[in-house]
């Protein structure tokens, strides 16, 4: 098991200077993995970030921020094209950083919700399968795996459940297009976190371990014992990454609805969350 942390815990957007500060800190804390978010293309030096991670012995993943003008299934063809171009940019960036996984809601803009009839949803699913099939070819050629993330109903109306994600992945049927789960979202949408993890099974290639309030993992009411048991049941050995956000950066605070500090400090959230996860999976 590789324990990681997303730099959104401390800062947004990530800059090269912040990467130079945070990567050594992440390694010093005892993490195995660092996750770099891309909010805008070329917001930081990808080659330098990858060098820093490698120098400190850290695995890398990249999170694609799907904003309002980036959407693979939007009715506007120009927005769809912009979404594809952004995902391709993130794939190239991940390759530069030697990142294994590109993760996120790689289907629609975060915050876009709409009521769809069964026929409309079937049309959008078919469109997404076509888009992801092409992007999976592009990613696979560069050694990157797309890890598609279901979100909660307040952030998207399209993919909320593990079951819906499985439908997409099985239809794409490409080794470079798999699934990720995030316990924050799954806690809202799934009847059972353990059952959701077992349903995804070998398709699960990335995992976000987040508390129900996005605070320190282990400090809330999530059924962590069930989560750990299910991950063991499916033989999961990929990254387990803490994702949270700082309330100090207004743009990300609004996007993620972070209205108050979630821990005494970002460092405390990361350190204490890692200690909990290490204990949880110690068996």
Active-site entry in 35, 155, 211, 243? 243
Q: What are residue 38's DSSP bridge partners? A: 64
**DSSP sequence for 155-199:** T-SS--SHHHHHHHHHHH--TTEEEEEEHHHHHHH-S-HHHHHHH
Q: Cβ distance 277 to 209 under 8 Å?
A: yes
Contacts 24+ apart (CB under 8 A), 76-84: 80/131, 83/109, 84/131, 84/134, 84/135
d(CA 11, CA 131): 31
d(CA 23, CA 52): 7
In the residue annotation, 163 being an active-site residue is answered as no
Active-site entry in 149, 189, 190, 211? 149
H or E, element range at 272: helix 266-280
Q: Cβ distance 253 to 246 under 8 Å?
A: yes
d(CA 242, CA 233): 21
d(CA 135, CA 265): 38
CB count within 10 Å of CB 84 equals 17
CB crowding 114-137: b at 16 or more within 10 Å, else e? eeeeeeeeeebbeebbebbeebbe
Radius of gyration of the chain (CA): 17
In the residue annotation, 243 being an active-site residue is answered as yes
Catalytic (active-site) positions: 149, 243
């Amino acid at each position: 098991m590789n324990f990681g942390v997303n730099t959104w815990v401390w800062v947004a957007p990530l800059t090269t200077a912040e990467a130079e500060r945070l990567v050594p800190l992440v390694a010093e804390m005892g993490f195995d993995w660092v996750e770099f978010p891309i909010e805008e293309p070329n917001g930081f030096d990808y080659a330098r970030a990858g060098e820093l991670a490698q120098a400190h012995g850290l695995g890398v993943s990249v999170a694609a921020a799907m904003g309002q003008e980036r959407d693979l299934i939007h009715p506007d063809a120009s927005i769809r094209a912009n979404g594809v171009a952004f995902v391709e940019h993130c794939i190239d960036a991940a390759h530069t950083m030697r990142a294994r996984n590109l993760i996120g809601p790689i289907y629609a803009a975060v915050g876009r919700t709409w009521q769809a009839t069964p026929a409309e949803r079937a049309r959008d699913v078919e469109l997404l399968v076509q888009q992801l099939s092409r992007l999976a070819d592009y990613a696979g050629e560069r050694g990157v795996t797309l890890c598609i993330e279901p979100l909660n109903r307040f952030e998207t109306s399209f993919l909320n459940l593990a079951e819906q994600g499985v439908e997409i992945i099985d239809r794409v049927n490409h080794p470079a297009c798999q699934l990720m789960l995030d316990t924050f979202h799954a806690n809202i949408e799934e009847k059972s976190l353990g059952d959701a993890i077992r349903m995804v099974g070998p398709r699960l290639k990335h995992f976000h371990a987040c508390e129900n309030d996005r605070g320190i993992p282990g400090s809330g009411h999530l059924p962590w014992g069930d989560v750990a048991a299910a991950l063991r049941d499916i033989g999961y050995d990929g990254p387990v990454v803490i994702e949270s956000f700082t309330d100090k950066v207004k743009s990300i605070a609004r996007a993620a609805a972070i209205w108050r500090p979630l821990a005494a400090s970002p460092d405390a959230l990361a350190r204490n969350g890692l200690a909990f996860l290490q204990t949880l999976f110690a068996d």
